Amino acid sequence: MDLFEYHKKDLEELYGEFQPYKSFEKIITLEYERWSTTDSSMKSKLDNLIKKREKEKKTLSIDDWILAMESYGIPADTIAQISNQTIPGNLYYEIAYR
């Protein structure tokens, strides 16, 4: 919150004094909490997908990679690290093609 106060003071030079916004701190706190749990939530989804494929004695399919990247927001490097698989050579082609 201190950073926002400093930024607000800097902007006052350009825009004048800002009126108090009562719920600003509440909104920033809520958004920070959401942001801070996003990584663990997305990793949990990927872990579940990996476990499902392991039960089927399969590796992640190209569709799984694309799902994890586009829906879960996990970069390919991170998927490879978590799943201990190499990034499919045609992954980015498939993403662009679809």
Q: Are 84 and 73 in contact (CB under 8 A)?
A: no
Please give the Cα distance from 60 to 53 (Å, whole number): 7
Please give the Cα distance from 41 to 78 (Å, whole number): 14
Supply the DSSP string of 74-95, one letter for each residue. --HHHHHHHHT-PPPTTHHHHH
Whether the model pTM is above 0.75: no
Please give the average per-residue pLDDT across 62-66, as a whole number: 97
> At residue 38, does pLDDT exceed 80?
no
> At residue 11, does pLDDT exceed 80?
yes
Q: How confident is the model at residue 44 (pLDDT cuts 50, 70, 90)?
A: very high
Please give the average per-residue pLDDT across 49-77, as a whole number: 94
Q: What is the DSSP letter of 72?
A: S
Please give the Cα distance from 69 to 39 (Å, whole number): 13
